[in-house]
Structure formats: structure tokens, C-alpha cells
Amino acid sequence: MDAVSGRGLSTGARYASPLVIFLLLGFLAPLVTVVAFAFAEPKSFEVFRTFTLDNFAAVLNPSNTVWRSFVWSLVLAALCVAMLAVIAYPIAYGLNRVFGRFAPLISVLFVFPLFVSENVRLYGWVQFFIKNGVLDGVLKAFDLGRAPDVLYSPGLTLFGMVYVYLPFMLFPITLGLAMVPRDLVDAAKDLGAGRLMVWREVELPLAMPGILIGMLLTFVLAVGAVAEARILGGQSVITVVHDIEVAFTYAQNWPLGAALAVLLVLIIGSLTLFVLTRLDLDRVLGKR
């Protein structure tokens, strides 16, 4: 019943108002504050009282190395997405088509690491790759020499990102493949289409919404990766999130940190809107 109160608010609006107020206070207010700080005088706290573009100029200045953190973050995130797409697609296909009644068990194996702290898992890999660690000890025990020195490198940082964000790529792709009708695939085969053609013309286009969602979700998370670079990379890679943290803490340059955060939000927001405009959300959500 669409009852309307004396103040003109419907019943639904009245019930939704606490959530709207919570979102405004919890999301919009901090975002407005960060944007305001981005235009404040450098190394000051005169928010809402000054307006300058010096912070953005400092970020974009070629002589300032802070722009390198953006490049590292974006490049590592893009490589992580590309590698996970190649790794997760066959696994998702197996979960949908091959494993049958064992699919739930295999899904649990991929979800289980999420119940353990990310830092604990990453330090576990440190113990595995460190000198005289697990890998080094096993190789020495079999007289196979020493383990390669890969710890605290960009390559191991990328490995950690792929390891951590695999579930976030896997399950959207699994959902996308689950939306491919089997009768449509069988019909294509009956009409003489080969396995590669069926995949290229039927399965891949129909599963693309799930694949794009997985890639977008993974990219957004990977751009903000800081624990992997700090624990496995040993600061051999400085990410943009690390620079934001330093600006807000040790450097006490909140305007610079806010400018970095605003630029990062603009990049991620633009990418998100670009992907969402190419998705059929009704089909993804199962409304048709």
C-alpha cells in the first residue's frame, strides 16, 4: 500500500531514510572532505578556506617521482587481471562443465583462504621463499641447489596479487559461464560448428558480462594492493596507496594525499562507468 504521510513521504521513503542518511554521512561526507583537502594549500589543514591546484600539479610534475606509483599500481593491476583471466577461465569452465558433483567441494577450496587474514597468508609465502625457508630447505634436502632469490621483487609482488585476488576473478567468470544455455551450445554443435567456433561465437560472448565484472572487480582491488608490495615486494614496488598512506601519516601532507586519492578515484570511476555502459545488468542479475 503506497500510503503517503502528511509531509509527502511515502512509506518506502520513510523506511529507506535511515539508510540514505547513513550513506550520506558514511560515504558522501568523507568523499567531499577528501576532495576539499585536495584543493587546499600544500602541507596545511585549511580545508574549505583555500583553493589551489598545486597538489595536482605536484602529482603530475615529471620531476616528482610520485607519478611512478600510479604507473606501478596500474601496470601491476593490469598484469594481474590479464593473468587471472587466463588462469580463472579454465577453472570456471571446469566448475561448470567438468567437475559435476565435486564442483561445490572445489569451490570451497578456493573460498577457504578468504577466511584467513591476508597478511597471514602473505607471510606464509615469505616463509616459503625466504633464504633457508621451506623451498630452500626442500631443494637442499634433495641436493638440488639453492632456491632462486625471488623474494622482495616486483615479480613476487605480482604473484601475491594473483594469489590473493583469484577468487574475485573466478566466481564472476563462473557465474558468466553458468548463464550460457547448454541447448544453445548443443545446437551450434549440431549445425556443424567446431569446438573453437562454439567457444568464440557462443560461449565467450554470452559469458562476457561475468568476465567483465570479474576483471573490473579484480582491477579495482589490485590497484589498491599495498600488503602484497609491502610484505612480498619489500618496498621494491611503491604503489599509489602506499604514497597516499605516507602523505596522510608520516609526511603530514593531507592535501597531497587527498589529491592522489581523488585522481585514483577518477581513474577507477571512469573505468567502472566505461565497463558498466557495456554490460546488460538485467541479464547479469537474472531479471530476463
Cα maximum dimension of the chain: 84
Angle (nearest 5°) at CA 231 between 229 and 232: 70
Percent of the chain's residues with pLDDT above 70 = 92
Residue 242 cell numbers, joined: 602506499
Could you give the CA distance from residue 92 to residue 89 in angstroms, rounded to a whole number? 5
Residue 285 pLDDT class (50, 70, 90 cuts): low
Threshold 0.85, pTM exceeds: no
4 has pLDDT over 50: no
* Half-sphere CA count of 167, side-chain side, radius 13 A: 12
CA distance 139 to 202: 46
Residue from 268, 269, 254 nearest 35 by CA: 254
184 grid coordinates? 544453445
For residues 40 and 56, what is the distance between their CA atoms, to the nearest angstrom?
11
Domain boundaries, the chain: 64-285
Q: Which amino acid is at 221?
A: L
Q: pLDDT for 11-45, tens place per residue?
A: 877 888 888 888 888 888 888 889 999 998 888 88
Beta strands in 110-187 (DSSP E): none
Q: How many CB atoms lie within 10 A of CB 53?
A: 11
- How far is the C-alpha of 71 from the C-alpha of 164, rounded, in Å? 21
User: What is the rounded CA–CA span in Å between residue 245 and residue 252?
Assistant: 10
Beta-carbon count within 10 A of 167 CB: 18
Considering just the CA atoms, what is the radius of gyration of the chain in Å?
Answer: 24
What's the pLDDT tens digit per position in 127-169? 998 888 888 888 888 887 787 888 888 999 999 999 999 999 9
CATH of domain 64-285: 1.10.3720.10
